[in-house]
Amino acid sequence: MKTHLYLGAAAAALLLAACDPAADAPMPAPQAEQTDVNGAAEAAAANPLLAEWDTPHGAPPFSEIQPEHFIPAFEAAMETHRAEVDAIASNPDAPTFENTMLAMELAGADLGRISRVFGNLTSSASNDALDAVQAEMSPRLARHSSAITLNADLFARIDALHQNAEELGLSPQQARLVEVYHENFVRSGAQLEGDDRERFAEIRSELAGLYTRFAQNERRDSELWTLPLSDEDLAQLPSDIASTARAAGQARDLDTPVITLSRSSVEPFLQQSPNRAQREAAWRAFYNRGNNNNEFDNKDNIRTILSLRLELANLLGFETFAHFRTAGTMAGTPVAAIALMEQVWEPARARAYEEQADIEALMAADGVEDDVMGWDWRYYTERVRADRYDLDEDEVRAYLDLENMIAAQFYVAERLFGVRFTERFDVDTYHPDVRVWEMTNAGGEHLGLFYGDYFARQGKRSGAWMSSFRPQNGITGDTPIIINNCNYNKPDDGEPALISFTDATTLFHEFGHGLHGLLSNTEFPSLAGTSVDRDFVEFPAQVYEHWLAQPEVLERFALHYETGEPMPRELLERVLEAQNFNEGFRTVEFLNSGFVDMGYHLETNPGAIDVEAFETEVLTRYGSPQAIPMRHRSTHFLHSFAGEGYSAGYYSYMWAGVLDNDGFDAFLEAGDIFDPETASRLYDVYSSGNTIPAMDNYINFRGREPSVEPLLRNRGFIEAEG
């Protein structure tokens, strides 16, 4: 979610077209694109991507946009952007903040908005035509980006401002903008010379294409597999899973219900199906996405990506790519990031083995003599949960209607920050499932648009994420346009979308990211919203999750979908009591991915890596239970290999976990989860973007540096004091 400041904020989103929407990596190479200017001008006249958007609050006119519009629009916008940047770089006047920094912030407006629309569509509603455009444009956009960051005249102007910043009388935000631009240009190769500059650009271009290929392979390989279910199979499953399976079969024009590899389909099946052979088939297919030795296999892509990343880091003077990536974060070094994960590892693993013992007892009672395997864990865990807390997942889901949970996320924002959300039905969307709300302040003033795309479908990548169609821009006065994507199972027509407590937590998490974009209030778009350190960007999202688990919120919004009655107090207490249940598994699963991600990027000979053997070696070294694999296995690890947003940075969720647990304690210490004074300080975190360093931002909120103790306590790994 971090934008690419060195491009100018308006153009920063071009990288969405080449990478994951959450990526924050610089992109490649200095070759000039050759464009027929007259042809581009003619195309622009009929191209909705290049026209002025006369829509409510400048929202994208999706119904007018077709795949064939993107390449000519990109070409025209890149041509305009090149001219703007060349004018800045060749300006004969001495560099000033206005003629260099401000000009860069305003450059590339068309390219930015086109890229944001394209990047979101390729993640949320892709098809063969968009895939083809993405494959062609990713390296071209990368070359365009590098042509800017490796422009010697342009960097000379930025460098001059950086060296003389103290004498220029800059405001704090102006000085911060200069600092951030300079750092990002340097990290993007601006100080390289000769052959190194050319090679750096080539690497960036190659990586852009590889990131696109990795993501497309993961999606296409996932869509190949289904597990047909008979009437007998369906009879053994909860009604919502059976309904989802029937809908999935119909969507694929199949004559049988099926389980798919969408996480929202396969995970509930693994939790609820008593058929061990079918669970094994589903688990193996889910675990092996991108690792099936077919045309969509990602192992070679991983080796090539890692080799190019190492070469790039070495060109910039870093020992490894992990050192390069962590140098721009709160952690600062790979050692610090690993140390945090290891601090949590031992208590998490110990808890996981306790959880495994419970599973082994149930399996023995069932007459299953095998060791606990990956396809056993979720199924038996649900039985242990039901027995220990007398919890029936279907009973809990009955009180978690997606519609009410959406209302709950808005209610919390209203109580904390004084904003209102009103659904709009006059804003164009790219799919009938997408909904739009307008955010206003208490006085009714428009503050932004929020899109919600909540259901899984073909053409949409798995997982959940936040992105933007437009960042907040203090220069132009543009308000933000933000989107949340989730992948819940779509119910039959007329039926409510009942979700799990985990799904509801994800909803709150992504809305926390959404608020980080929506509440942004900075002078410059390059510093706006989520343009912060990767290991800080998760804090506003993860801290927001805490409000879902508060009785004051659940009692108001956890209402039975048929009766409208609130969740009974005793059930509510059991739900909350069970929140730390299976925490050993969840934490170990996460840390397995974090250790492997960091391990890959510390390798100095990555081209020789055997992907499966490498995973096994890392997990064996830490003594991970065999039944708990990586949460995201390498060949479908989009965080790490579909862009650079979380490469050598997956640990950041744990880093932010320290922040969010410590941070929410501020409200508990105040005795009010909506304490106005504490909420005001939290608003400053959401609104300030990257105008100050991340640790300073946190200390301003909390009054001190964070402590790891609340995380360990809240996960049940240590006892609460007192």
Q: For 213-245, write each residue's pLDDT tens digit.
A: 999 999 999 999 999 999 999 999 998 899 989
Q: For residues 667 and 701, is the Cβ–Cβ distance under 8 A? A: no
Q: What is the mean pLDDT of residues 591-606?
A: 98
Beta carbons within 10 angstroms of residue 50's beta carbon: 20
pLDDT in tens, 146-162: 999 999 999 999 999 99
Q: Look at 32-36, 77-81, 559-563 and tell me which has the smallest mean pLDDT.
A: 32-36
Would strands 227-228 and 258-259 be described as parallel, antiparallel, or unpaired?
A: antiparallel
Q: Is 414 a catalytic residue?
A: no
CB atoms within 10 A of CB 497: 20
Dist. CA 506–CA 472, nearest whole Å: 24
Which residue do the tokens 């979308």 mark? 497
Which has the minimum average pLDDT: 9-13, 263-267, 386-390, 484-488? Answer: 9-13
pTM for the full model? 0.89
Cα separation, 296 vs 636, in Å, equals: 11
The whole-angstrom separation of Cα 378 and Cα 391 is 15
What kind and span of H or E run contains 360? helix 334-365
**Inter-residue contact 302 to 229 (CB < 8 Å):** no
DSSP 473: B
CA dihedral 270, 271, 274, 279 (to 10 degrees): 10
Segment (H or E) for 341: helix 334-365
Tens of pLDDT, residue by residue over 99-147, are 999 999 999 999 999 999 999 999 999 999 999 999 999 999 999 999 9
Structure tokens at 14: 């071009």
The C-alpha R_g of the chain, in whole angstroms, comes to 25
Token digits of residue 685: 């975190």
All structural domains of the chain: 5-219 (1.10.1370.40)
Closest CA to 400 of 548, 239, 270, 259: 548
Asked if the model's pLDDT at residue 209 lies above 80, the reply is yes
C-alpha–C-alpha distance, residues 30 and 16, integer Å: 19
Amino acid at 267: E
Which of 79, 510, 589, 603 is catalytic? The answer is 510
Between CA 393 and CA 378 the distance in angstroms is 13
Per DSSP, 491 falls in state P
